[in-house]
Amino acid sequence: MTDYEEIVENEEAFRDSISTVNKEGKRIWIFPKKPKGGFYNKRKIVSYILLIILFGAPHVRINGEQSLLFNVIERKFVIFGKIFWPQDLYLFAIAMIIGVVFVILFTIIYGRLFCGWVCPQTIFMEMVFRRIEYWIDGDWTYQKQLREAPWTGKKIFKRVLKHSVFWSISFLIANTFLAYIIGSDELWKIQTEPLQEHVGGLIAIVIFTTIFYLVFSKLREQVCTTICPYGRLQGVLLDQNSMVVAYDHKRGEERAKFRKNEERKSVGKGDCIDCYQCVHVCPTGIDIRNGTQLECVNCTACIDACDHMMESVGLEKGLIRIVSEKSINDGTPFIWTGRVKAYTALLVVLIGVLVTLLLTRKDFEVSVYRQRGSTFQMSDSAVVSNIFEINLMNKTRKNYKIELTLEESTGTIDLVLDDLTLKSESLLKERFIVRLPLSEIEKGTKTLHIVVLGNGKEIQRVKTKFIGPLL
């Protein structure tokens, strides 16, 4: 057993508990040091772009529709301005399967990079609420001091200010969240019309504001370590080839304090100078040198901290980096395993299916069938008639004047009603009579193509069967 393996075995006990709970089961409050560095700067840019999209999307209109709407209450969904109905549920089912496979594949290859860089929980926590905390309370040491300090006027002022700002941002998030569910127009009504007309909406805003406030001011990293199912799943998704934020123990051990002008290798010391900067900046309170852990959200703050220390003492950067465990152990590059290939192939097929379904999805659904139980009728002038039923579904927000014509036939169509209007977002059922000259019918049937026109333009062409006498 190598020295490093011995250390790991002795220290394996850290896996029996999470870093934020003490032996008595009480919460250990984390005061992470304010991160800085190249990765942090890139994360800031990614976060601000994602925040602009998140807050802006409900207010952007495409074809007169909110760009993104997930109205689960009225079962109405809009994606990039296209309205989706419960009839399109299969598209959501496929999209969800693709989402799950994507997350699995992504995690196998890149670990929890999503958590640290894209997840709204981390973005709001680290890039919004935490930054406000640094601004009001100061960096981690000041925060600790303030927590221990007696309730002076200064402390009360800081606490009131911080929690008022937290509450205001939570209110903003709750409003945005509701804009995705009920729509920005409806939200605007709640915000501007008399309170008594929107009691339900106001209660929802207050409830969501409270939930967001508690999540970002109290729960914090506990969401990632104990609540989020994705975080819990990573243990089964990651393997030796997954790219994760990892400490290069081969290079770092034996860790020892830095001494000026010392040739570390010659005295058996590794590159880790045991400065604990990687631990101080960690928002989940772990020591990444213990190996990949449940709590790590791959935020890369420890990479920045360690790179800074390595530069300061004149050692090569990258002691902590994004790398697979296998690469560290064998010095081999990233490998595409059979499992990754299989997931990739499945993902490509599913995305192909989804894109095809989305591209071929129509704004109208039309079905035409002969009225149940009816047969043909024949007039003295050798004209045969059938009664049909048409079901029309309009998924758009426009009204359409409907006309029906026959393709490749000298027959006629008589509507029961003179004016057939298909209202926006609604279903229309109507009957009509088709009359054909007897000469057009062979062996008792004829295939018809009925052209459905909406406001003078063809919206669909439907195939159906006309019956007549067997001559």
Residues that bind ligand SF4 (CB under 6 A): 245, 247, 252, 255, 272-278, 281-284, 286, 288-289, 296-302, 305-306, 309, 319-320
Q: Tell me the H-state helices in 253-361.
A: 277-281, 301-312, 325-330, 338-360
* Min dist. Cβ of residue 156 to ligand SF4 (A): 32
Nearer to ligand SF4, 119 or 301 (CB): 301
Bridge partners (DSSP) listed for residue 326:
none
Tokens of 333: 């590059």
Nearer to ligand SF4, 108 or 402 (CB): 108
* Min dist. Cβ of residue 119 to ligand SF4 (A): 12
Nearer to ligand SF4, 60 or 256 (CB): 256
Instruction: Give kind and range of the element (H or E) at residue 349.
Output: helix 338-360
C-alpha–C-alpha distance, residues 149 and 143, integer Å: 10
- Determine how many CB atoms are found less than 10 A away from the CB of residue 254: 14
* Min dist. Cβ of residue 308 to ligand SF4 (A): 8
Number of helices (H), then strands (E), in the chain: 17, 16
* Min dist. Cβ of residue 300 to ligand SF4 (A): 5
* Min dist. Cβ of residue 310 to ligand SF4 (A): 7
Nearer to ligand SF4, 80 or 276 (CB): 276
Nearer to ligand SF4, 278 or 420 (CB): 278
Which residue carries 């370590």 as its tokens? 225
C-alpha–C-alpha distance, residues 354 and 98, integer Å: 9
Nearer to ligand SF4, 176 or 222 (CB): 222
* Min dist. Cβ of residue 169 to ligand SF4 (A): 23
C-alpha–C-alpha distance, residues 27 and 111, integer Å: 26
Tokens of 410: 């000298």
* Min dist. Cβ of residue 46 to ligand SF4 (A): 15
Nearer to ligand SF4, 282 or 448 (CB): 282
Nearest to 295 by CA among 277, 279, 317, 319: 279
Tokens of 110: 């890149």
